[in-house]
Amino acid sequence: MIIAVSGASGSLGKDLTKFIEAQGHDVIRISSSLVPDNYSSFSFNDLVKQKISRKIDIFFHLASLNENITEENIFKEIELTNAVLDCLPTMNCTNLIFYSTTKVYGDNSYKYSILDELSPAIPNCSYGRAKKLCEDLVMDRSRESKLNFLILRLPPVLNYSTKSNIGKLISLSKKIPLVSFVQGNKNKRSFISSENIEEMTLKILQKPQLISHNSIYNLADHGHISLNELLRAGGSKKIFLIPNIIFFFFKTIPIFRNILLKLYGNFQVDNSKITAELSVKLNTTSECISNKFK
């Protein structure tokens, strides 16, 4: 098959294109940072001007402004998705995989709750709001045309590159003992590992008819993991635990409040819908980390 990937120069896009090519498929890369060759590499300007005339079997739309999205430029994210939707007919493509985010449900909280696809979408940040509007656009356009789609809502991607925050933390934990709060034993977080993204991608490539489900799915590692479990799974040398009484004190200080919530808050995502309906097996975060570093 011929697969198009927007955002092909991003961290996830690079990994995904390599994986798809390894399965024997041709990949068309679309990115603003690539030199277009008008055959296998195209710019976003080429996309907007509908200069991609090759027939595409599946379009993986990863491109996003990500953390650069503000309230003032949410429309740019929507325009990007709209450009993809507009160009699909010129490529005779009726299958779209749209990568969204679990931030459409909100942000970290100290409350314990599990979010599934029926949970209210109440995004708190511009990125989450932009992605929710793009989801709505995809579904609206699908009803107007013969477009098949899967919307995949991803929690934070576990990127082991030393350029990523998680990668830096795991790398540091292997070299020196780390200090964490006892709270880090109890919080519950969801992530998505590259291993499970590849498993889902393989399922789509093997059974493209699944795209006709035209549905939204949480694509997350199986189960949940605490911050301290995450560090231990990555081979942490040692973790010195600080009593929670000190944690609760720091929570009262405004400068630390948001940092602690990001590290020690809860955000649990349920993936039972995607495993049941699409028959994809997803490993736990601990299993994925162990497989990566064994």
pLDDT tens digits, one per residue of 125-175: 999 999 999 999 999 999 888 899 999 999 999 876 656 667 777 777 777
β-pairing, 268-269 with 114-115?
A: parallel
The amino acid present at 148, given as its one-letter code, is: N
What's 243's DSSP letter?
P
Farthest-apart Cα atoms in the chain, separation: 62
Query: Encoding tokens for residue 76?
Result: 């740019």
Return the SS3 of 23: coil
The pLDDT value recorded for residue 234 is: 75
What angle do helix axes 244-251 and 254-264 make, rounded to 10 degrees? 130
pLDDT of residue 159: 74
Contact 102, 116 (CB under 8 A): no
Structure tokens at 268: 């649990």
Distance CA 184, CA 178 (A): 12
What pLDDT is attached to residue 165?
A: 65
What 3-state class would DSSP assign to 68?
helix
Q: Are 200 and 256 in contact (CB under 8 A)?
A: no
- The pair of structure tokens assigned to 69 is 């999205």
Whole-angstrom Cα distance, residue 196 to residue 152? 12
Residues of the chain with pLDDT under 70: 67, 160-165, 236-237, 293-294
Please say whether the structural domain 2-158+192-222+269-283 has been given the CATH code 3.40.50.720: yes
Residue 284 contacts residue 225 (beta carbons within 8 Å): yes
Count CA atoms within 13 Å of residue 164 on its CB side.
12
In DSSP terms, 27 is beta-bridged to 3
Please check whether residue 269 is in contact with residue 220, taking contact to mean a CB–CB distance below 8 angstroms.
yes
Sequence-distant (6+) residues with CB within 8 A of 13 are 5, 6, 7, 29, 31, 62, 63
Q: Where in the chain is the domain with CATH 3.40.50.720?
A: 2-158+192-222+269-283
Enumerate the H helices of 176-221 as residue ranges: 194-206
pTM: 0.93
Cβ pair 104, 128 in contact under 8 A: yes
Give the burial string for 154-180 (b: 16+ CB within 10 Å, else e).
Answer: bbbbbbbeeebebeebbebbeeeebeb
The Cα 8–Cα 31 span in angstroms is 6
- pLDDT at position 38: 82
